[in-house]
Chains A and B, each alone.
Chain A
Amino acid sequence: MSAILDIRNLSIELETDNGLVRVLDRFNLQLSEGEIHTLVGESGSGKSLLAKAILGFINPRWKITADRLWWRHYDLLSLSPAQRRLVTGRDMAMIFQDPGSHLDPNEKVGAQLQESIPSGALKGIYLKRRADRKTRAERLLHRVGIKDTDDVMERYPHELSEGLAQKISIAMAIAHNPKLLIADEPTTAMEPSTRAQIYRLLAKLSASQGMSILMVTQDLTAVVPESQRMSMIYCGQLMETGPTQQLMAEPYHPYTDAMLSMSLFNQDLPPKTRLPTLKGAIPTLQHMPIGCRLGPRCPYARRACIHQPPLEKRQQQQFACHYPLRDDPDHE
C-alpha cells in the first residue's frame, strides 16, 4: 500500500537566545490509508511539534525543512498558506489531550458541534439547512457512541465527564470526514475504563471509514492492539519504527527495550523488585548531546555513539543504533 502521508528527513529548528536548536532531527514517517500509527515519546521529544508541523500550526519562528512532506499528491511545504489551509481543513483533524479545557466553556456542546459541520455539505435552504445541521450533529454523536443526544447537546462542557468530553471532541474532529486524524495524547490522566472506550472508538472509526490515525502518546501502555505500526522517538530523533507486535516482541534499539521494561510490559519481574531504568534525566532543549541523543543515558553507549547512527532496516523494522540488541555475530 502506498503511503498517503510521507515524511522524509523532517527537521524543525527553533530560534532561541543560544542560536538555532534542532528539536526534531531528520524524522521519517510513512502512513498508509486506514492505518493506525502510534508515536511514542517522552516529554520534550518533539512529538507534539511533529503533529503541529503536519497540520501547519506553525509559529513563524520555527524553521521547518524536509526532503519530503507529502500529503497524498500535495507537497505541503510548497503550497501557499491559503492552499495549505484548504487541504488541511478538508483532509485532516486533530484531537487534544485535555478535552474539557479546549471546548468553549461559554457555549453549549450542541452548538459547538453544529459549528464544526462544514456548511458546504448541508442541503436545502435556510430553515431546512438548520434542521439538517442538527440531524447531522445527532448522527455524529451516535457515531461516537453517545445515545442520549438531546441531553448531551444541551449541556455545557463543564458538565461533562472527561470521557464524554473526549468523545464530543472526536465527534467534532470527524465532522468533515477527515482522512487523517491526529490524536495528541487523547487519554493521558484518564481512567483505564474510559481510556479503553476511547481507544475502541478510534479503532472502530479507523476500520469503518478507512481513516488513518496518528496516535501520539507518552506511554507504551497506551498502545492499542489495533495499531499496525509504531515509532519510538526520543529528544527529536527517531529511535525505532516497525510493526507494533514485532517491535514490542523484539526491539532492536536499547531505548525501546528500556521503555518496554520500564512500563512493566510482558515482564516477569517478581513484585517489589527494582525496575530497570535509564539513568539520568531527559536533557533540556538547550543542552542536547551531540550524536545519538540517547547516548549519555544508554547502557550500551560506546565511542561511535557521538555520531548519529543512520537508519538501518531489518525486515520491516527500522532503527537508528550503532550497537543494536539481538545482533547476529557476523553483523558488525
Chain B
Amino acid sequence: MSKLLEVRGISKYYVHKDGWLPGKRVCALEPTSFTLGRGETLSIMGETGSGKSTIAKIIAGAERPSQGEIFINGQSLNLMSDQQRCRHVRMIFQDSLRSLNPQTTVGKQLCEPLIFNTELTPRQQKERVHNTLRKVGLLPDHYDFYPHMLSSGQQQRVCIARAIVLEPQIIVADEAFAALDPSIRAQIINLMLDLQQDMGISFIFVSHSTEIVKHVSDKILIMHRGKMIEFGTTQALIQQSEEPLTRALLCSDYNYKVPLNSTTKE
C-alpha cells in the first residue's frame, strides 16, 4: 500500500515561563514517527495527558510541531500554505454542537471552507454542499436549518460533512464518538466506514473505547506520557503484544492492575 501520510520525528515542547527567569520546558510529545496508507484507519490510544490529542492536533495543523516534519504523498506539509494543507487534512471535534456556529445555517457553514479554499462559483458551491449533505445521510433541505434544530446524531453528521466537503485524504477525529449515545454512535461509525470505502479516506481516531478501536482500525498507536509505546496492526497488537499498558487498554481486563502514573497530576 502506498504511503499517504508519513510522520517523521514530530515532537512538541511547551515552555512554562514564570517571571523573568528562563522557563521550564515541558515535553508533551517526544519525537514520534509513523506512516499511514491510503484508506487505512489509525487509532491513537492512551491515558489522559499521554499526548494523543497533541499528535492529532499537529497532524490537523491546529498546532505546530517543535521539531519534525509531516509528509503527505511525499510532500512536506511545512512547505504548504494553510489553504493547500486543509484540502488534505480535516478535523472533527468531540462536541458537535459546540463546534458549529449557532448563528449561521448549516448550508452557510458548509460553504465557508469552499469560499476560503476553492475557486468555485456560488452555484457550484451550493451544488457541492447538497451532494455532501446527501453523502452523510442528510437531505439538501437541511441546507437552511440552524444547528439547534438538528438532533445530536444529525449535528455530528454535519460536522462530518464539513470535514469531507473539501474532499480531503485524511480526517482526524478527536474523541468524535465519546459524547454520542450508543445507537447514534453505531450509525456514525457505519457512516464513516461507508465514506472510507467510497472516497478512500484515511482516518485518524483518538479514542479510548476499546471495542470501537478494535472494530474500525487497521493500525493502533499506543501513547504513554508523551512517548509512543507501540505501533502496529490491530491484529498483532491484540494477539501478541507484551506491553502491559497495551494489554490493559485493548483487553480492558478489570482485574488487571495498570501501572498507573496518571492518578495524580504533577
Chain B residues with CB under 8 A of A159: 265
Residue B178 is within 8 A (CB to CB) of chain A in the complex: yes
Residue A225 is within 8 A (CB to CB) of chain B in the complex: yes
Chain A residues with CB under 8 A of B48: 161-162, 191, 194
Sort chain A's interface into a size bin. 35 or more
Cross-chain contact B265 with A161 (CB below 8 angstroms):
yes
What residue in chain A is nearest B209 (Cβ atoms)? A221
> Quick one: which of B225-266 are within 8 Å of A by CB?
234, 248-249, 252, 254, 256, 258, 260, 262-265
Cross-chain contact A191 with B214 (CB below 8 angstroms):
no
Chain A residues with CB under 8 A of B195: none
Chain A residues with CB under 8 A of B141: none
CB distance from B61 to the nearest CB of A (A): 25
Chain A residues with CB under 8 A of B210: 192, 221
What residue in chain A is nearest B253 (Cβ atoms)? A196
The 0/1 profile, CB within 8 Å of A marked 1, for residues 170-188 of chain B is 0000000011011111110
A192: contacting residue among B152, B190, B208, CB under 8 A: B208
User: In the complex the two chains form, what is the Cα distance from A269 to B218 in whole Å?
Assistant: 15
Cross-chain contact A277 with B214 (CB below 8 angstroms):
no
Cross-chain contact B234 with A271 (CB below 8 angstroms):
yes
Known contacts A277-B186, A278-B183; decide if A193 and B47 are in contact (CB<8 Å): yes
CB distance from A268 to the nearest CB of B (A): 11
Cross-chain contact A163 with B184 (CB below 8 angstroms):
no
Cross-chain contact A199 with B254 (CB below 8 angstroms):
yes
Known contacts A196-B252, A265-B211; decide if A272 and B265 are in contact (CB<8 Å): no
User: In the complex the two chains form, what is the Cα distance from A223 to B134 in whole Å?
Assistant: 37
A264: contacting residue among B187, B215, B252, CB under 8 A: B215
Chain A residues with CB under 8 A of B256: 196
Residue A290 is within 8 A (CB to CB) of chain B in the complex: no
Chain B residues with CB under 8 A of A277: 183, 186-187, 190
Total A-B pairs, Cβ < 8 A = 107
The 0/1 profile, CB within 8 Å of A marked 1, for residues 147-162 of chain B is 0000111100000000
Cross-chain contact A264 with B214 (CB below 8 angstroms):
yes
CB distance from B238 to the nearest CB of A (A): 10
Chain A residues with CB under 8 A of B72: none
A220: contacting residue among B182, B208, B234, B248, CB under 8 A: B182
Cross-chain contact B209 with A189 (CB below 8 angstroms):
no
> Quick one: which of B7-52 are within 8 Å of A by CB?
41, 47-48
Cross-chain contact A281 with B214 (CB below 8 angstroms):
no
Residue A219 is within 8 A (CB to CB) of chain B in the complex: yes
Residue A275 is within 8 A (CB to CB) of chain B in the complex: yes
Cross-chain contact B248 with A193 (CB below 8 angstroms):
yes
CB distance from B39 to the nearest CB of A (A): 10
Cross-chain contact B181 with A282 (CB below 8 angstroms):
yes
> Quick one: which of A248-276 are within 8 Å of B by CB?
258-259, 262-265, 269, 271-276
User: In the complex the two chains form, what is the Cα distance from A319 to B182 in whole Å?
Assistant: 21
Cross-chain contact B154 with A281 (CB below 8 angstroms):
yes
Residue B189 is within 8 A (CB to CB) of chain A in the complex: yes
Max chain B Cβ within 10 angstroms of own Cβ: one of A148, A192, A225: A192
User: In the complex the two chains form, what is the Cα distance from A284 to B151 in whole Å?
Assistant: 9
B211: contacting residue among A221, A278, A282, CB under 8 A: A221
User: In the complex the two chains form, what is the Cα distance from A225 to B264 in whole Å?
Assistant: 27
Chain B residues with CB under 8 A of A66: none
Known contacts A161-B264, A191-B47, A277-B190; decide if A218 and B215 are in contact (CB<8 Å): no
B193: contacting residue among A163, A199, A274, A276, CB under 8 A: A274
Cross-chain contact A259 with B183 (CB below 8 angstroms):
yes
Residue A119 is within 8 A (CB to CB) of chain B in the complex: no
Chain A residues with CB under 8 A of B139: none
The 0/1 profile, CB within 8 Å of A marked 1, for residues 103-138 of chain B is 000000000000000000000000000000000000
Cross-chain contact A271 with B181 (CB below 8 angstroms):
no
Residue B212 is within 8 A (CB to CB) of chain A in the complex: yes
A residues neighboring B (CB under 8 Å) = 42-43, 148, 159-164, 189, 191-194, 196-197, 199-200, 218-221, 224-225, 258-259, 262-265, 269, 271-278, 281-282, 284, 297
B residues neighboring A (CB under 8 Å) = 41, 47-48, 151-154, 178-179, 181-187, 189-190, 193-194, 208-212, 214-218, 234, 248-249, 252, 254, 256, 258, 260, 262-265
9 contacts between A and B (CB under 8 A): A159-B265, A163-B262, A164-B264, A196-B252, A221-B211, A271-B214, A274-B193, A275-B190, A277-B187
Beyond contacts A43-B152, A192-B249: 7 other A-B pairs, Cβ-Cβ < 8 A, are A192-B208, A193-B248, A262-B183, A264-B211, A273-B193, A274-B193, A282-B181
